[in-house]
Amino acid sequence: MQIIPAIDIKNGKCVRLYQGDYDKETVYYDDPLLVARKWKKNGAKSIHVVDLDGAKIGKSQVVEIVKRIIEEVKIPVEVGGGMRDLSSVEKLLNIGVNRVILGTIAIEDPDLLKQLIDLYGERMIVSLDAKNGKLMKKGWLEKSNFNLIPTVKQLELMGVKTIIYTDTTRDGTLTEPNYESIKLLRIVTKMKLIVAGGISSTNQVKKLKDLKVDGVIIGKALYERNIDLKEVIKYVS
């Protein structure tokens, strides 16, 4: 199982939100590049970057920051937030982004999603951000009419290979992941499953490994030092 540290960027700074609420942010670092260096030094094999401003307005805002991170750390970087057209996705791929995370368009524009899958295959990841079983969109600011499990089945039929599941009610809370939903996802799909949201201890990461999760994205628990990145990587390797 892969441990993927997160860098969430808002107004050019490294922040964490509470349950995705843009009014409940904590700024941890002024320069996301410093965080990327830290994660690499502590053993990260890849980095998860979220463009919070891009997710909100629908247009990527972090291309130059991500380019600097890629050039500096030289490990795979995946990026999500605001990628809602072909040119936005291609711009990130052209600067060296390893995988692009698609959220809103997976719900609103299945034709574009299929086009991107056909063009770029496993370099496209779909992020499924759920609140009480309903998928959220546009930076978690709007609830869709789509349910989690039927959408997962449809995505698999379309050729998606990897999904990220986040329970938005737990993200940034340092409580625990939504194990019941994760167990159900592991049953209903053979796609690779990456989990985020609510992770607060190494024991929880071990439990996710036991559930056959393919990857875990850790954010606030690293910033608050509830989890040591070096140790958790050793623990699950």
65, exposed or middle or buried, with CB in 10 Å at 0-12, 13-18, 19+? buried
Q: Are strands 47-51 and 21-29 parallel, antiparallel or unpaired?
A: unpaired
The label of the residue with tokens 């939100």 reads 17
CB atoms within 10 A of CB 137: 18
Question: Has 129 been annotated as catalytic?
Answer: yes
State whether residue 199 is helix, strand or coil: coil
Beta strands in the chain (DSSP E): 2-10, 13-18, 21-29, 47-51, 77-80, 99-102, 124-131, 134-137, 142-147, 162-167, 192-196, 215-218
Which position among 8, 51, 53, 171 bears the catalytic label? 8
Does 31 participate in catalysis according to the annotation? no
Sequence-ordered list of residues with C-beta below 8 angstroms from that of 138, at least 6 positions apart, any chain: 55, 56, 58, 104
Rounded distance between C-alpha atoms, residue 163 and residue 155, angstroms: 9
Q: 223 with 210: CB under 8 angstroms?
A: no
Give residue for tokens 């995370």: 101
- The catalytically annotated residue of 51, 129, 167, 171 is 129
Three-state secondary structure call for residue 30: coil
| Residues with active-site annotation | 8, 129
